């Protein structure tokens, strides 16, 4: 079985590194990393990963706009939003726009690892 591939999008390098370590530990391969929504959309088009972790607050193009562009280009895109607790309204907008799930920052390593494990072992991503 080929490892599922994740695209990690966050403007904070430390957050990208943390998500990357946890994803790899859970058996995922990294399709790429992007630091803003503009890069994320371009990288998604090129790589077509199995899953995207997408921060909401980023420079240039925010996560909400990037999500909408990804969904417009590929309605089958599997995008998980990563957000701070105080962004509940934005999260609702993202779920309505097509995000399949969300992760709230700050997150515990074990919680994120079980999240990746859940999607890795699923026959089909939701």
Q: What is the CATH number of the domain that holds 67?
A: 3.40.50.2300
Q: In whole angstroms, what is the distance from residue 106 CA to residue 104 CA?
A: 6
What does the pLDDT read at residue 36?
97
Q: Judge whether 86 lies within some domain.
A: yes
Q: Judge whether 126 lies within some domain.
A: no
Pairing of strands 5-9, 51-55: parallel
Range of the domain at 40: 5-121
Per-residue pLDDT band for 65 (boundaries 50, 70, 90) equals: very high
- Does the pLDDT value for residue 41 go beyond 90? yes
Total tally of structural domains belonging to the chain: 1
Peptide bond into 90 cis (omega under 30): no
Model confidence pTM above 0.85: yes
Q: Judge whether 27 lies within some domain.
A: yes
- Does the pLDDT value for residue 51 go beyond 80? yes
Q: In whole angstroms, what is the distance from residue 94 CA to residue 90 CA?
A: 6
């Amino acid at each position: 079985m080929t490892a599922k591939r994740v695209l990690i999008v966050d403007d904070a390098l430390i957050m990208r590194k943390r998500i990357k370590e946890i994803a790899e530990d859970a058996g995922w391969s990294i399709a790429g990393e992007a630091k803003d929504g503009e890069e994320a959309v371009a990288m998604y088009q090129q790589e077509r990963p199995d899953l995207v972790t997408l921060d909401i607050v980023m420079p240039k193009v925010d996560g909400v706009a990037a999500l909408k562009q990804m969904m417009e280009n590929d309605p089958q895109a599997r995008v998980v939003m990563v957000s701070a607790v105080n962004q509940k309204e934005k999260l609702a907008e993202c779920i309505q726009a097509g995000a399949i799930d969300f992760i709230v920052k700050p997150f515990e390593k074990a919680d994120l690892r079980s999240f990746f494990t859940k999607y890795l072992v699923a026959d089909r991503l939701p």
